[in-house]
Amino acid sequence: MRVLTEKKRAAIVAAAGRMFAQHGYGGTTMTHIASEAGASKATLYRYFNEKSEVFAAYVVAQGEGHRDLLDQPIALGEDCAETLMRLGRLYMSIVLSPRVIEVNRLVIAEAERFPELSEIYVSNGPGRVIALLERSLLAAEARGWLALEDAADAAWIFKALCERSLLERAMWGFPMPFPNPAVERNVQIATDCFLARFGTHRLR
């Protein structure tokens, strides 16, 4: 029996990503993926049972550089504003990365024909980011800095405030390097607005 290796698995996932980018999810077959990876279909099926599993692995791979950050709360700053600024910059660095933008476009293009893609994407991508935001906001609340009614809802609010128009512009193909002054301004406004609504200073 041949041994499964992480190197081969990663090569298959990378090949799948190239095929998804060129042909879309619907236009990509397991045969395409195996051929692009230089593997037999038998080898491919030893790693993945179906195309949706390959896609899930592809989504996870696009956020690979952020894995450690996503698995723990952000380090708290000296005060809530500093903490929110750190959190906002981190979030924007993830969401504006070219690899994440690529997956976003793919899911939007294919979700109507393949509704399961949205669930796979949210579970392996945005869902993990929202969990990070939620954990970090709860840590700030534990310091007495925030008064959250619903931490998950607050995480989505902070996410939306940080993005404003920048995510859409990146999705439409406008250059959106990170960091840049527009991102910093968005994060500053998001921090100010979020504190105005959830900061405990407003209750004193």
pTM: 0.82
Q: Which fold has domain 63-203?
A: Tetracycline Repressor; domain 2 (1.10.357)
> Structural domain boundaries of the chain?
6-55, 63-203
Question: Which contacts qualify for 46-50: CB closer than 8 Å, 24 or more apart?
Answer: 46/2, 46/4, 47/4, 47/8, 47/9, 47/12, 48/12
- 6-55 domain in CATH 3.40.50.10140? no
| Count of helix runs (H) and strand runs (E) in the chain | 12, 0
Q: Which residue from 45, 53, 63, 52 is spatially nearest to 8, judged by alpha carbons?
A: 45
**Tens digits of residue pLDDT in 23-59:** 999 999 999 999 999 999 999 999 999 999 998 888 8
Mean pLDDT of the chain: 89
**Tens digits of residue pLDDT in 120-146:** 888 878 888 899 999 999 999 999 999
